[in-house]
Structure 1
Amino acid sequence: MAKTKTKTKPSKKSRRKDAPATLASVLQNIAAHSNSQSATVDIDALVARANSLLHEESDPHQALTTITKALAKNPTSLPALELAGEINVELEDTDTAIRCFTAATELDADGSISGVEKFLWLAELCEEGGEVAIRWYERAAEFLRKQVAETTGEEKSTAEQKLCSALCGMAELYMTDLCMQPDAEARCEAYITESLLIAPTSPESLSTLASLRISQSKPADARAALTRSLEAWKHLPATDDRIPPYPARMSFTRLLIECELYEEAMEVLEGLQDEDDQSVDLWYLGGWCLLLIGSNLKDGAGASDGANGQEVEDWRDTWAAAREWLWNCEKLYKAFEWQDVGIAEHASELLAKINSEIGEAKPDDEEKEDEGDEDEEWEDEDEDEEMEG
């Protein structure tokens, strides 16, 4: 089966070497405390405070300090270990996050005590990927299948959602890391079919189905799956938790562009822009998408631009808008010292194409700098004339 990278896998973020010594020592001593009884030590308040600092106050550094205090009191606290893992993911210290989640799995091997999030995190973060990640996903799926069968109501719904996510994660691995396995395509089909049987309108399951159909060179089926996925959430209010998270929607736009659903892609990108406009990928994908929309207008206008030239003006305006998006992409790329060279190179190529067709232009900030330089020149000339006088 052809290899595809249509869905962005969680990145292996940079490893920080400066993890707090107190947390490192706590993790090293977990085994020594594995039989300790800490009933007299109430760490619930510390865990709750760390959770609030991370998720409500967006202060992962203070959250780390607080959770380290909790683990110093009780190194075998599953809630503290798992929250420490999440905090270190946010701080881009993947090594420490993995150690926290791994320690949690040793204390709760089947997920029956604190759930399966630790297995899902390890599947996403593990450097080995492939079969190792699949094993973590399978541990989560095994527990979640039982939970779906044995529960009702909200608990059942939550378990179904997590199970669908795990199944889609496994399918993605067989489209990427394990795509050369002889049974890769069959496994993808099985995982996606199971997830859609559980939740037929799951945006994640439908997007993963679209990714598989693209790899199978079935664009019509892929477009149908993407359309169903978009319809499942695009009319929901912004606060609805059924709307896929920001990174998932960003990946979704790549699939839409690949399937030539450009207008739909721009609709999603504009919604993402309203939420957070500090993403390099956002401006890159928007600029690329607008250029493709303009190219379609340009091709369609070629045979009918004799009436009033309106069609030609439309594509030029669209390309000018694409240029603005790509300028923003370049500015953020430099500001954040982004590492994806492919985006930088492609954005430059697209800008060169636009400039060659509709003429050169400068970003607003560069034009203002030029105007400032001109003002300084005029001031200098005035001063020279006064001196001569």
Structure 2
Amino acid sequence: MGKRSKKPIKPNTSAAAKAKKTKSSSSGGSGTAPKYTVEDLLVKIDGLMETFEFEAAQQFCERALQINPNHPQLLDTTAAILLELGNPDQAYEVLCRAVEISPDVGHVKYMYLGQMCAGMEGAQHYIKGLSIMESLLASQSAAASSQAVAAEEVCAGYCSLAELYLTDLCFEEDAAVRCGEFIAKALHLCPDSPEALQMMASFRMSEGNSDEAKQLIVKSVDSWLPSPSEQEASAYAAAKADEDEERCVPPYPARVAAAKILIEVGEHQRAFSVLDGLIDDDDEVISVWYLFGWAHYHCDEKSDSRTYLQKAKELTAKHECDDEAMLTHIDELLAELGPESDNEDGGQDEEVMET
């Protein structure tokens, strides 16, 4: 089963969608005026991105760049498409050009650069982008601006910045203080944000405060995870996509991280529910089968644990994995569990092995 396609992150093109189309004059003109404006082409590009037609969208970007190679929004959009097409080096060049052209207007380029750059360089890009976003959010005219932002977008930016201080920058002298400050800002903007609550749970786990981490991750997951009755309903599978959108279900990697935290704080049943959903979306991810096995191990369900861990081990032959710690843990757990014995109760073995 392949991973579901997700809508790409892209710059706000609402202003382009509302722009009035300009036609070249047909009354005795030279005929050199462009048939379409950049705004017209951005509308077309936006539609192609919505339907994941990135190669066609890139062609329209190239045409638009011939009209105006220094259009800030067009440069942001071009970079987004290049990233979707797997051309990060070209995207980086375009984004750097956008920074040169318009360093203090437009946050999108900085948020992309924050994702692409490591360590302090990435953090500085996030901080610059968030500064612009905060100004827009506070501005009375932001709602009418092509660069308007929502509180949720700023919240997500602070979460991304906090994550840097939990990972790449964790050894900085003030890492813990800054990480806590950024998450606090995110929660101030959106107190019920699943992303911000989960980020705070991760932060509390790093501090060794598992009790508060448990409260936070449960609140986060319960805001989007379907209840057991909904999961068992006959119409659940058919309506899953619509429900996911309404519930703002986090992206796949965030749900994997949520499952890991749930296991660490002893919320195994919730973890199983999250992992079931992940398997439904993509059953070729090694870490998901590993987490399933690890959760069953914590529940002293040896047969199921062994089955899921063996499935994870099998997938390592099909997919590259650079998480050496996880691969080592899989081998250690399988060695500890040993071969299956006759007195073990089988759980989901047959179903898993047929997946």
TM-score higher than 0.5: yes
Alignment equivalent of 2:162, drawn from 153, 171, 180 = 171
2:201 equivalent to 1:218: no
Alignment equivalent of 1:101, drawn from 95, 99, 104 = 95
Which residue pairs with 2:27 in the alignment? none
8 A contact 1:147–1:159 mirrored in 2: no
Alignment equivalent of 2:262, drawn from 256, 264, 272 = 256
2:178 equivalent to 1:187: yes
2:273 equivalent to 1:267: yes
8 A contact 1:144–1:160 mirrored in 2: no
8 A contact 2:224–2:247 mirrored in 1: no
In the alignment, the residues of structure 2 paired with residue 332 and residue 47 of structure 1 have an alpha-carbon distance, to the nearest angstrom, of: 42
2:148 equivalent to 1:142: no
8 A contact 1:278–1:332 mirrored in 2: yes
Alignment equivalent of 2:328, drawn from 332, 345, 351 = 345
Letter in 1 for 2:287: D
In the alignment, the residues of structure 2 paired with residue 341 and residue 130 of structure 1 have an alpha-carbon distance, to the nearest angstrom, of: 22
Which residue pairs with 1:380 in the alignment? none
In the alignment, the residues of structure 2 paired with residue 233 and residue 152 of structure 1 have an alpha-carbon distance, to the nearest angstrom, of: 33
- How large is the RMSD of aligned CA atoms in angstroms? 3.4
Aligned partner of residue 248 in structure 2, secondary structure: coil
Count residues with an aligned counterpart: 300
Alignment equivalent of 2:116, drawn from 119, 122, 125 = 125
Structure 1 regions of 5+ residues with no counterpart?
A: 1-37, 296-314, 369-389
8 A contact 2:198–2:258 mirrored in 1: yes
TM-score by length of 1: 0.66
1:23-72 Cα distance to aligned partner (Å, 9 max, x none): xxxxxxxxxxxxxxx8664345654454444442x454454444344434
The offset of 1:257, in angstroms, is 2.1
The offset of 1:87, in angstroms, is 2.6
Letter in 2 for 1:261: E
Measured at CA, do residues 75 and 130 of structure 1 come closer, stay the same or move farther in structure 2, by a change above 3 Å? same
The offset of 1:215, in angstroms, is 1.3
In the alignment, the residues of structure 2 paired with residue 65 and residue 285 of structure 1 have an alpha-carbon distance, to the nearest angstrom, of: 42
Q: After the TM superposition, which of the residue ranges 352-361 and 168-177 deviates more from structure 2?
A: 352-361
Which residue pairs with 2:14 in the alignment? none
Alignment equivalent of 2:339, drawn from 340, 351, 356 = 356
Letter in 2 for 1:83: T
Measured at CA, do residues 64 and 284 of structure 1 come closer, stay the same or move farther in structure 2, by a change above 3 Å? farther
Measured at CA, do residues 54 and 40 of structure 1 come closer, stay the same or move farther in structure 2, by a change above 3 Å? closer
Pairing 1:13-162 to 2, within 5 Å after superposition:
41-44=36-39, 46-56=41-51, 58-111=52-105, 115-126=106-117, 129-151=118-140, 159-162=150-153
Pairing 1:5-16 to 2, within 5 Å after superposition:
none
In the alignment, the residues of structure 1 paired with residue 278 and residue 260 of structure 2 have an alpha-carbon distance, to the nearest angstrom, of: 13
Letter in 2 for 1:82: D
Letter in 2 for 1:209: M
The structure with higher relative contact order (CA 8 Å, sep 6+) is 1
1:159-190 Cα distance to aligned partner (Å, 9 max, x none): 21121112122222222222233322222222
2:338 equivalent to 1:332: no
Structure having the larger proportion of residues in helix: 1
In the alignment, the residues of structure 2 paired with residue 50 and residue 96 of structure 1 have an alpha-carbon distance, to the nearest angstrom, of: 18
In the alignment, the residues of structure 1 paired with residue 137 and residue 330 of structure 2 have an alpha-carbon distance, to the nearest angstrom, of: 46
Measured at CA, do residues 358 and 162 of structure 1 come closer, stay the same or move farther in structure 2, by a change above 3 Å? farther
Q: After the TM superposition, which of the residue ranges 138-147 and 231-240 deviates more from structure 2?
A: 231-240
Which residue pairs with 1:291 in the alignment? 297
Measured at CA, do residues 63 and 341 of structure 1 come closer, stay the same or move farther in structure 2, by a change above 3 Å? farther
Letter in 2 for 1:182: E
In the alignment, the residues of structure 2 paired with residue 177 and residue 320 of structure 1 have an alpha-carbon distance, to the nearest angstrom, of: 37
8 A contact 2:213–2:265 mirrored in 1: yes
Q: After the TM superposition, which of the residue ranges 134-143 and 230-239 deviates more from structure 2?
A: 230-239
TM-score by length of 2: 0.72
Structure 2 regions of 5+ residues with no counterpart?
A: 1-32, 228-242
Measured at CA, do residues 320 and 55 of structure 1 come closer, stay the same or move farther in structure 2, by a change above 3 Å? farther
In the alignment, the residues of structure 2 paired with residue 260 and residue 189 of structure 1 have an alpha-carbon distance, to the nearest angstrom, of: 24
1:297-326 Cα distance to aligned partner (Å, 9 max, x none): xxxxxxxxxxxxxxxxxx3xxx33333433
Q: Radius of gyration: which is bigger? A: 1
Aligned partner of residue 238 in structure 1, secondary structure: helix
8 A contact 2:223–2:247 mirrored in 1: no
The offset of 1:268, in angstroms, is 0.9
The offset of 1:142, in angstroms, is 1.1
1:190-248 Cα distance to aligned partner (Å, 9 max, x none): 22222211111111111111111111111111111111212222249212263222221
